[in-house]
Structure 1
């Protein structure tokens, strides 16, 4: 069971999140706060595993509030603004949800939280291809391309194969494993990136386009690459 709180000054937005939470057995809502000061009291008085945190709030915004905490619970930002995405991920937020938040998008975010809490012991995935299930290490996947109701999986060895699956079904599974969807038809393994600009990403000899509607995902990718460069 994951104890969670909602921090949001908009009653309708908070109620929607509360309804979403009530539909998931693994989540237990232990409190709601309308501002950062109320949220701080909740964090001091009870164990909180997960915080759904709005950004634009009076007096003290969500970004500054999270920065001020010495012990940070896992945090999912909930906001109507895209502008804070990079800063949110730099604070190691689990996810960044844009309002109005659908249950489908909320559920994918909770799946990501659960993977952070209970990470799998082996990093592999099963693909159905040619009547068999093929076990592929995630570290060997360069990118995945949508082809209608199928996907093409391209490996680091330049081998590729077709699998009966949809790219949307894989997106949430791969999100915490170094993969990012930067186009409606492409998910890439950031480990293989050798160059990029605002229009495309290079993975060795492969070139993958950047979709205009995947701005947040692309900003996240830039943040990850920048962190690696700094750490090295």
Structure 2
């Protein structure tokens, strides 16, 4: 548990061990040696580890660098809602933008590169971020923003199990 880390957008990491070590230095500086002897540092370390445990899946924000017709742009993976195939390009839908960003990449490459980040192929023309899936119906997926996207019959069973696994992995309660 000493290696438990929380990644922040700035790239800083917090570990229970680092906090406990800092606390130990403070206690030493202020001559609270009896507190260290009474197990205070160990108790605080355990409390910090317990607090940090739910965050163990979080990590520094990964970014995706994509090519548009005019430029290269870097986008945090967690802001990508889904990709839609549109002719010879893909449309990237982001959490904080109304209009999609047309990018020059093949859907198969996106699927391969982003599978480990929770992206799921739901249809020949759609790759979705599993964390934005609100509902899975018989013929469509409802995204958290209200978009209704088609899901192919053949992909539906795997989609359901993968979405449930993602939710479980990131601490959601499944009833």
TM-score by length of 2: 0.57
After TM superposition, which residue ranges in structure 1, 4 or more long, deviate above 4 angstroms? none
How is 1:25-104 mapped onto 2 (pairs within 5 angstroms)? none
SS of equivalent residue, structure 1 residue 142: strand
Counterpart of 1:127 in structure 2 is 66
User: Which has the bigger relative contact order, CA under 8 A and spacing at least 6?
Assistant: 2
1:214 corresponds to 2:155:
yes
Alpha-carbon distance between aligned partners in 1 of 2:88 and 2:141, rounded to the nearest angstrom: 24
Q: Say how many residue pairs are matched.
A: 113
Question: How far 1:200 moved relative to its partner?
Answer: 1.1
Q: CA RMSD of the aligned region, Å? A: 2.4
Listed as ranges, the gaps of 5+ residues in structure 1 are: 1-119
SS of equivalent residue, structure 1 residue 194: strand
1:143 corresponds to 2:82:
yes
Counterpart of 2:146 in structure 1 is 205
Counterpart of 2:173 in structure 1 is 230
Question: How far 1:130 moved relative to its partner?
Answer: 2.7
TM-score by length of 1: 0.44
Listed as ranges, the gaps of 5+ residues in structure 2 are: 1-58
Counterpart of 2:107 in structure 1 is 167
Higher-Rg structure is: 2
